[in-house]
Structure 1
Amino acid sequence: MRRADRAHHAGLLRLAYLVLDDGDAPLMRARRAAAGAARARRGGHPAMRTRLVAILLTDPPAGRDRLHRLFFEPARIPPGPVRAALLRLSPHDRLAYLLRRDGLTAPEVAAELGVHIQADFRDVDRATAAVDDRTGLDEAAQRAEIEAFDPGLVRLRPPPAVPTAWRAAAAAALAAALLAVAGSVLARPGEGPGGPAVIDPRAWRATGTPTVEEWPAQGGLRRDAGLLRRAADAWRADRGQPPVGRVVLLYAGTVDGASLVVLRDSPGPGDMPSVAQYFERRLSRGVESVRRLGTAEGQLIMLGMTWRYLVPPWLRDVRAAVPSGRSPEWAPVAVRDGLSDPLPWSWFTRRCQNYMVFQMAFRPAVGGTPQTVTQLASNDPRSAAPRVRFRDPPDRRERFRWAALHAVACEAATTLSESGDLRLGRLWSGELPDGGGRATLLTVDASSPGAAPGTSMLISDDGRALSERGGTNSGTTATAGALAAALWWRSPRRWHLVAAAGPGVARLKAVGELGSHETKADRPGGPPLLVVPGPRVGTPPRTARLPVVQVVSYERDGGRTVVSPP
């Protein structure tokens, strides 16, 4: 299934589930409704949504999913304020509210519903106001909770209350079935069961640069041999992402009523380990996520959908901030035996890719000096959690760093869910032409995917994007001082080519359809800046494309590199 189709189907399933939700998991009916709506592919998401509305309003309730309700229920995720408010509305009002939050206006929602039921815009406004009043959240926060809800997370339901004899017989049959499945899935031919290895808890204190290789086991269940063996065997049996090399324990404990085991593998030198998370709930167990780390350095690891993080013992004084703010409002995060307290779900905003900024203090046990570690982490255990390093001047350092983090998380300077560790740098700050105001040329380099070029962007002092992402050669130069970047910036009157370089570059030269232009560093050892006026805004369409230009950076050691803006 294409990514767009999966996204459409996930949205349809969420909408159907929230409309049908009566507290008893109508997952099968919601899936049937979403599958029927997905057949209306011509017209894209609007057509699918219209078809889903018709199914929800015209299909009579059926008992076909009673067997599913007997055995399955949603994972026990406490409902957020929006879902709790929806449970108090009628299905018709839920549908009106959800369509409104899906981007339709009140008259458009009334038109969608009016084909099947009697409804007008006042009904839509009333349903929306009811949720607003009961949650006290703004529209963006309500949408964030809706989009974070995943009805596909299900687990086995505890057996219902029945007479003892029937209950014993049913339990025996179910246990036999589960054992048969476990025997066929969790064990490989010729591979005996075995628990994970455990790292010496003193190992990380013997080095000034501890990594995941020295991460000791933590958690109150780290001595539960049966639990650890089941977790390791379940990961070994995973057909999609099995471990490579020996399996090592990072954490085992009780989290929100579930037994959780976090494991890593050992792929060997030159390759990054993967981390698996195994959960055991009542009558339900299995590996729920596997993620390959972007680096072997110790880092925060998001745990399931618990809003908690696993923290290595050498990182202390954890604090977090929402990257959408104009300045960091740090909140301390308590960590006990390697496990953090949960963060409020409302902190994770879709606009900022559902990422938070974390800062920790690293105090090496052997040599070295204390340092601050910055990391971005999301609410999705499968997404990357990049550590961030900075190339910045000593003046205005903290202000630049927060603006850069805001640009990365909230202004699309890079895609965080797929990136490795990040290096953010400032090439130039100053006034843009045509009254464009003060700007900073930000460079963004990610350690993965391999050989991917860096990007660059003009940002304001508070991290707002002033240009689209541009191209930079920072991924291929040998030293930070030889960085160079070039991009297009549009003022109200015309386009401008803006190029800047690090102190290792003596001069910049632009050649191509704009003619030849050259600039040298404005002072000895200072970075050069080149700004070339381009075509006027509003040029006739046949000549509206941007000129073809190449920027040559001449390095002080005699080398040169070509940067081509997109």
Structure 2
Amino acid sequence: MRTAARKRYTDLLRLAYLALDDGTSPSTADGWAVLGRARGAVRRARGASYGAVRRGLVGVLATEPPARPRVTRPRLFVEPAVTPPGPARAALRELSPHERLAFVLCRVEGLTPPEAAAELGDRLLVTAGDVDRALAAVDRASGLGAEAQRAELLAFDPALVRLRPPPRAWPVAVVLAALLAAGALTARGLSGTGRTDDPVLVGPGRWRATGTPTMDDWPARGGLTGDRALLRRAAAAWRADRRAPPLGRAAVLFADRVDGASVVVLRDSPGLGDPPSVAQYFERPLTRGVESVRRLGSPAGQLIMVGTTWRYLVPPWLSDPRVALPSERTPGWRPIGVRNGLTNPVPWRWFTPRCQNYVAVRMVHRPGAGGWPRRLTQLVSHNPGSTAPRVWFRDAGPDDEGFQWAAVRAATCAAAASLTESGDLRIGRLWRGSLPDGGGRATLMTVDVASPWGAPGAAVLIGDDGRALSGRGGTNGDYASPAATTAGAVWWPSRRRWHLVAAAGPSVTRLKTIGDVGGHEGNPLLVPGPPVRGAAPATEPLPVVQVVAYEADGDRTVISPS
């Protein structure tokens, strides 16, 4: 560390301390545990200037797992001069580790949200909007403005120590007993319950305080959540996993006996809206260890399969789960029992390869404060390592039951989406009508995937029974695009010829074709193409054509049907 950085050691130490201090450490009251971790992070930072050292420190805090806490001997004469947190520090402790880091870079270091996102961008997938949301959360919780927050945090000096007051008021016997107990624990290398390496146990009522509960609000459930030794073994085994160790502190979702094994399901805390990972730890008579780690597609709560038990964990805000087979023409929703957050086994024979090994689950989403109950559909697999996409329907109404089930069948059985790595699905309907040449009724739908973020969506023409009538076509949107401006186009073969089918949302004033089929305008468009010549029309070369979507505000986008 260069001289310029040494002169600002207190600034670096303050940054690291505020980013690490979540208020839950058992040593937070005396300050030694957090201060030791902060000093270690600053020591590992490298750079030729203060800015470079700070970037190195950000890298250490954002990516390196916390060092295993040491058992510290009692300090008889000094203690950190840790004052009770003010409104800003108290609100800051409620954020995730990466959100705290982004907040401190802005409020204490004076960076703008885009600059803070850029400094974190080499290690984390962070946008300026994520940083803005962290700043706004502290603004609301603290009731202070930016300058008042900055003044409070800059006045905090984590390295300040003071003399420990003598225990005059304590009985001598109590003091001797405490010292003997501390010495015995130190000699044995043990500490009591509530160590800093313990996984977090979220309380049962936290999710009720928000209208949009996420994985961070999932309470610990199960009959073994009080077994500290088991939970520590599970967390330690995940930290030792070199392929996919946790980011931030681990939290317990479930701990109980399942089919003769002790099972602990954990999630990590990546922060800033990033989806967490879920690890499943099993202890059987002859084996123990982490058997699967999966990165979730979104931070929202979802069903999680427990091993290969055919059972699923259900967050408390999802109720009344019912299961249906996508291979069925009509949804025969079957209720499935839930006990202590874990469902009864789903029959293994329900998972068929032709529907990508997925079954559909419908639940009622009942959030806490400020939320409205709504129906939710999720696709679950027989594999704990596979994604479990939630299915959202754009502008869906209560009379859309037939279309929604047809869309689910198309996504699973007709491969309108590749579900293994798709994350959540957002499905929209652009057009429904009669096809030419006696093709019958059909629906042009769009399928957008949440993962990878920003991936272009696909348009598919389906029948009322969920059969895919076309290959995947192009759209002008993705998962987050507004439904009103979405447009899509596909090639559909009738018995005699190809047809270009295109449609768009209400904010698109017109569609226009350019290319080999000439200029056609309208919304929707059913444009005849070349004759179908072979027995396998999917292999035939098609005309080069593009569809231009004109929006009401003057914007234009270009779509390719294939």
TM (norm. structure 2) is 0.63
1:26-41 map, 5 Å: none
Gaps of 5+ in 1: 1-191, 520-527
2:298 matched to 1:295? yes
> In the aligned structure 1, how far is the partner of 2:476 from the partner of 2:293?
33
> In the aligned structure 1, how far is the partner of 2:382 from the partner of 2:208?
30
2:61 — aligned with what? none
Question: Which residue, out of 480, 485, 488, partners 1:482?
Answer: 485
> In the aligned structure 1, how far is the partner of 2:534 from the partner of 2:272?
55
Q: Letter of the aligned partner of 2:525 in structure 1?
A: L
2:545 — aligned with what? 549
Q: 1:477, 1:483 within 8 Å by CA — same for their partners in 2?
A: no
Tell me how large the CA RMSD over aligned residues is: 1.8
**What SS is found at the alignment partner of 1:417?**
coil
1:138-537 map, 5 Å: 194-392=197-395, 394=397, 396-475=399-478, 478-519=481-522, 528-537=523-532
> In the aligned structure 2, how far is the partner of 1:345 from the partner of 1:393?
31
Distance change in 2, residues 1:244/1:324 (3 Å):
same
Gaps of 5+ in 2: 1-194
Q: Letter of the aligned partner of 2:284 in structure 1?
A: R
Q: Letter of the aligned partner of 1:456 in structure 2?
A: A
**What SS is found at the alignment partner of 2:235?**
helix
**What SS is found at the alignment partner of 2:420?**
helix
2:557 — aligned with what? 561
Q: 1:495, 1:536 within 8 Å by CA — same for their partners in 2?
A: yes
Q: Letter of the aligned partner of 2:401 in structure 1?
A: E
Output one character per residue of 1:486-516: Cα deviation in whole Å (capped at 9) or x when no partner. 1100011111111111111111100101111
Q: 2:306, 2:384 within 8 Å by CA — same for their partners in 1?
A: yes
1:395 is displaced (CA, Å) by 7.4
Distance change in 2, residues 1:193/1:477 (3 Å):
closer
Q: Letter of the aligned partner of 2:380 in structure 1?
A: A
Output one character per residue of 1:444-499: Cα deviation in whole Å (capped at 9) or x when no partner. 00111122110111111111111112111121884210110011000111111111
1:42-191 map, 5 Å: none
> In the aligned structure 2, how far is the partner of 1:404 from the partner of 1:198?
39
Moved over 4 A (4+): none
Q: 2:450, 2:479 within 8 Å by CA — same for their partners in 1?
A: no
Q: 2:470, 2:492 within 8 Å by CA — same for their partners in 1?
A: yes
> In the aligned structure 1, how far is the partner of 2:300 from the partner of 2:230?
27
> In the aligned structure 2, how far is the partner of 1:194 from the partner of 1:245?
11
1:421 is displaced (CA, Å) by 0.9
Distance change in 2, residues 1:556/1:416 (3 Å):
same
1:374 is displaced (CA, Å) by 1.2
1:544 is displaced (CA, Å) by 4.4
Distance change in 2, residues 1:205/1:352 (3 Å):
same
TM (norm. structure 1) is 0.63
Q: Letter of the aligned partner of 2:532 in structure 1?
A: V
Q: Letter of the aligned partner of 1:243 in structure 2?
A: P
> In the aligned structure 2, how far is the partner of 1:346 from the partner of 1:544?
38
1:442 is displaced (CA, Å) by 1.1
Distance change in 2, residues 1:197/1:368 (3 Å):
closer
Output one character per residue of 1:300-321: Cα deviation in whole Å (capped at 9) or x when no partner. 0011110000011111111111
> In the aligned structure 2, how far is the partner of 1:236 from the partner of 1:477?
34
Q: Letter of the aligned partner of 1:259 in structure 2?
A: S
- The alignment of Structure 1 onto Structure 2 pairs a total of residues equal to 366
Q: 1:193, 1:229 within 8 Å by CA — same for their partners in 2?
A: no
> In the aligned structure 1, how far is the partner of 2:511 from the partner of 2:399?
26
Output one character per residue of 1:276-309: Cα deviation in whole Å (capped at 9) or x when no partner. 0001111201101000111111110011110000
Identity %: 63
> In the aligned structure 2, how far is the partner of 1:239 from the partner of 1:438?
53
Q: 2:488, 2:502 within 8 Å by CA — same for their partners in 1?
A: yes
Distance change in 2, residues 1:388/1:374 (3 Å):
same
Distance change in 2, residues 1:476/1:328 (3 Å):
closer
Q: Letter of the aligned partner of 2:545 in structure 1?
A: V
Q: Letter of the aligned partner of 1:297 in structure 2?
A: A
Q: 1:193, 1:233 within 8 Å by CA — same for their partners in 2?
A: no
Q: 1:510, 1:518 within 8 Å by CA — same for their partners in 2?
A: yes
Q: 2:501, 2:524 within 8 Å by CA — same for their partners in 1?
A: yes
Q: 2:428, 2:446 within 8 Å by CA — same for their partners in 1?
A: yes
